[in-house]
Amino acid sequence: DTEVTQTPKHLVMGMTNKKSLKCEQHMGHRAMYWYKQKAKKPPELMFVYSYEKLSINESVPSRFSPECPNSSLLNLHLHALQPEDSALYLCASSQDAVGYTFGSGTRLTVV
């Protein structure tokens, strides 16, 4: 299996809702990432997990809460989001500096 699987593909949520994005890989990669991509902009790094430990938080608001339950799974818990948080959320994994694999993303709309 050489893929990163993200679910759901689309999500619409209200500002008072709690939802979660899921990312899964079975390549044995040691690092997993969350990126946020607004329309017509490049992906921006949010979080990095290395060996299931949070190693980078790019000053992301606390309404985004990452979780890495095991080496294959990465979640992003969402709570009290704002409309400006609407974006494409991309998950990626890597074993080293050159072996990145991206998922197809979750398109999030906050209403």
SS3 103: coil
Would you count residue 31 as binding other proteins (CB under 8 A)?
A: yes
82/60 Cα distance (integer angstroms):
13
Would you count residue 7 as binding other proteins (CB under 8 A)?
A: no
Would you count residue 23 as binding other proteins (CB under 8 A)?
A: no
Would you count residue 103 as binding other proteins (CB under 8 A)?
A: yes
Of 48, 81, 43, nearest to 64 by C-alpha is 81
Is the previous residue joined to 42 through a cis bond, with omega within 30 degrees of 0? no
Of 17-25, 35-43, 63-71, 73-81: span binding other proteins (CB under 8 A): 35-43
Q: Binding-site residue total for other proteins (CB under 8 A)?
A: 25
The pattern of x and - marking residues 50 through 69 that bind other proteins according to CB under 8 A reads: x----xx-------------
CA distances to 24, 40, 85, 102 from 54, in Å:
16, 28, 22, 19
46/27 Cα distance (integer angstroms):
22
Would you count residue 18 as binding other proteins (CB under 8 A)?
A: no
Task: Name the site residues for other proteins (rule: CB under 8 A).
Answer: 31, 33, 40-45, 48, 50, 55-56, 88, 90, 92, 94, 96-98, 100, 102-105, 107
